[in-house]
Structure formats: C-alpha cells, structure tokens
Chain A
Amino acid sequence: MSAAPTEQHTDFVALARNGDVEAFSRLMEELQPQLMGQALAFCGDNQRAQDLVQETMIAAWKNLARFDGSCRLFTWLYVILLRQHRRALGWFARRLPLATLEQQAAAGRFEADTAIDESPKAEAAEAELLRAMLTALPARHREVVRLRFYADASEAEIAAALGISQGTVKSRLHNGLTKLRRMKEKMNQLRSGSH
C-alpha cells in the first residue's frame, strides 16, 4: 500500500533536502501513483486529483527542509495531501453535517440491500457510505483515521508527522472509530426504516 523506506530512498531524501532536484524527481516518480490513488479517493475527479498531487509535490519541495525522517516520506506527503485538499476546498472543507448524511441515507442514496450484501453494487454502496461518513468526522479525527488506515501509518509515525503525542493519536483514533461506528449504526437504522 505504501512505500517501505529503503536505503536508496533515504539517500535520495538526503540529496533532495540539499537541493538536488533530480533526487526529488526520483522520489516523486516512485510515490506519484500512490498519491494519485489517494487523491482520486478524495476528489473523485482525475483532473482535480492531478492538481492536488502537483500542489502536494510543490509544497513538499518547498518544505523539504522540515522533513526530519521521523516518519516515512509517504506519510509526510500524505499529511500535505490532506491539508492541500482541505485548503483547496476552502469553506467546503468543513465537515459534512451528519444531518445531511442521515437525510441521504433516509432517501436511500446509500442503499445496500442486505440480501445481496456480497454483490459489487452493495460493496460500492458501503464504500461510498464509509467515505461519506469519514467526511462527517471532525477534521482532527478524520486526519488520524485516514493516516492510520489509508496511508498505513503507525501511531508513532502519525504522531511524528502531525507533531502531536502518541497518546493524542490513540485517543483521536479511538474517538474517530467510535464516531464512525455510531454513524454506521444510525445509517443502518435509517436505511432499514426507508425500506
């Protein structure tokens, strides 16, 4: 899922931090597909995802001196990606109100028939619901949940990348997951009520 740091990788990071554009180019070449995959999941639109990845890489180049190697480069880039996305959305970056999500569930937008739970359609509906629920999470919880599960970052790495304590990461992760679980329960109730 995410790039394992290699010795060569570390060398390129060191060179890039000293202003070596070619070393930076090699790193970005390696990480671009992963970043694009994540960006596509946020944006759902290829052009916007490309813009997001480009802005992330530009911001990474400008701030490379701040990368201290306490987490993987991908984790650090993922944090930039998340924040660039939030900045690009501006006012719309505010979390989706839960009420909107509930209304959509009640209207059957996230309809997933339990009888055909294994079908690709049901899986796609579940994935859509899960991503919509993620957008309804407070930003601080969403950031940690995304880093943990989508960037496959360890709690220690997340703490280093966000500049917070590991205890805070644990607590945000737990609260984020609990909120998601409760949302899911409520959505299921609403969906069963709409049938």
Chain B
Amino acid sequence: MSTPTPNENQPMREALQRDAASLPEPDFNPALHYATMRRVRGLAETPTRRFRLSPALATTAAVLALAASLMLWQMRSSSDHEAASNFQPGQLQPQPTMPLASLLTYQAAADKGDDALFALLDHDARELLPTSSPVFNAPLR
C-alpha cells in the first residue's frame, strides 16, 4: 500500500481551513458570562481548602491507622516471642490423649472385675501397638 504524500491531503486541509474560517463568532454574551462567573465565585468561596485538605486528612488517617496496626502487630509478635523464649521442655505437660468416655469405660470394666479390665486393656493395646510388640507374647495375665 502506497503512503499518500502530504499534497494528496492538501484539498482536505484547505476545506477544513475554509470551514473553520466560516464559523460565525457570536457577540459576547453578558448573561452567560454573569451566570458562569457566579458559579465560579461560588466555587471560589466554598472552601477549596477543605477539598485540598481532605486528601491530606485521609493520608494522615491512613498513616495513623497503619502505625497503630504495626504497633499492635509488633506487641503481639513480641509477646508470642516472649512465650516461645520462656518455654522449657520440662514444663511440657503430656496432654491426656484418652477421652473421658474411655476412662469411664475402664472404670466400668474394673468394676466388673480384673478379667474384664485386662480384656479391655488387651483390646486397646492391639489397636495402638503393632502386633509384633512383645506385650502380646507375654500377656499381662
């Protein structure tokens, strides 16, 4: 595709210039000017400072909020760190892994007698320990 030379567009340039020159320029309209300037004065009187200040206020509020959340986060993380640094392995209490219902079951089994208790223990041991465990070769009873 050939690129047109600027001269090809010259008639169009001239047509546009003619059209622009033919545009009528109306007389000054005092009513329009008065109405416009009344609005401009209204804008100038309403505190544009408030408009200018609001972004500053918003920025300040955002910075304060950020600082507060940073402080909170730091306090929280430092207390966590303190707790972690004060931790002694000996203080670790074994958590009762056995649920309350099982204790009651054992109590009930004990009430029935040794055989029932040993049978229950044996059953649980089979659940928890591998079958190769020596306890199964030398039963409690």
Contacts and interface: CB of A to CB of B under 8 A. Distances in A.
B23 A174 contact: no
A28 B36 contact: yes
Interface stretch (A4-12, A57-65, A93-101, A108-116): A57-65
Interface stretch (A67-75, A82-90, A155-163, A177-185): A177-185
A149 B16 contact: yes
Interface residues of B, number: 31
A76 interface: no
Interface string A37-68: 11011000000001001100110011000000
A174 B9 contact: yes
Contacts of A25: 33, 37, 40
Contact of A57 (B4, B11, B40, B41): B40
Given A149-B16, A184-B12, A54 B39 contact: yes
B43 to A, nearest CB: 6
Contacts of A19: 44
Interface residues of A, number: 38
Contacts, number: 95
B29 A32 contact: yes
B113 interface: no
Given A37-B23, A127-B19, A21 B37 contact: yes
B26 A36 contact: yes
Nearest to A151: B20
B25 interface: yes
Interface string A18-42: 0101001100110011101110110
Minimum-distance CB pairs A-B, first 3: A177-B9, A149-B16, A37-B25
15 contacts: A32-B33, A33-B25, A38-B23, A40-B23, A50-B32, A54-B35, A126-B15, A127-B19, A127-B22, A130-B15, A130-B16, A150-B16, A150-B23, A152-B20, A178-B4
